[in-house]
Structure 1
Amino acid sequence: MRIDRLVLTDFRNYERLAWEPRSRLVVLTGENGAGKTNLLEALSLLAPGRGLRSAANAQIQRHQGSSWGVVARLARDGDAALELATGADPANPARRVFRLDGEVVRNQGQIAPHFSTIWLTPQMDRLFSDPASGRRRFLDRLVLALDPNHARESAAHERALTQRNRLLATRPDQSAWLDGLEDSIARHAVALTASRMALVEAMNRVPVTDDTSFPVARLRLVCGVEKDLAKRPALAVEDTLRAALKHSRREDARKGNTSFGAHRADLLLQDALTGREAALSSSGQQKAMLVHVVLNHAALTAGKAGRTPLILLDEPLNHLDAERREALLRFLRDRDVAAFMTGTDKEVFTVLRKCADYREVSAGRFNER
Structure 2
Amino acid sequence: MSNVSSGRSLSDWGLEPAVNYIERVQRSDGLIPWYPDGPADPWDHVESAMGLSVAGRETAARRAYDWLADAQHDDGGLWATYGEAEPGDGAHAGDEPRKETHRSAYVAVGVWHHYRCTGDRAFLEALWPTVRDALEFACVRQAATGEIYWAVGADGEVYEDALVAGCASLYKSLACGAAIAAELGHGDERERWLEARADLGAAIRERPDRFDRTWESKSRYAMDWFYPVLCGVLTGEPARQRLEAGFDRYLEDGLGCRCVADEPWVTVAESCELVLSLAAVGELERAREIYEWLFQWTDDEGVFWTGYQFEDEEFWPGDRPTWTGGAAVLAADALSGLSGAAGLFTEPVFE
TM-score of the superposition, structure 2-length normalised? 0.30
Relative to its length, the structure with more strand (as a share) is 1
Higher RCO structure (Cα 8 Å, ≥6 apart): 1
TM-score of the superposition, structure 1-length normalised? 0.29
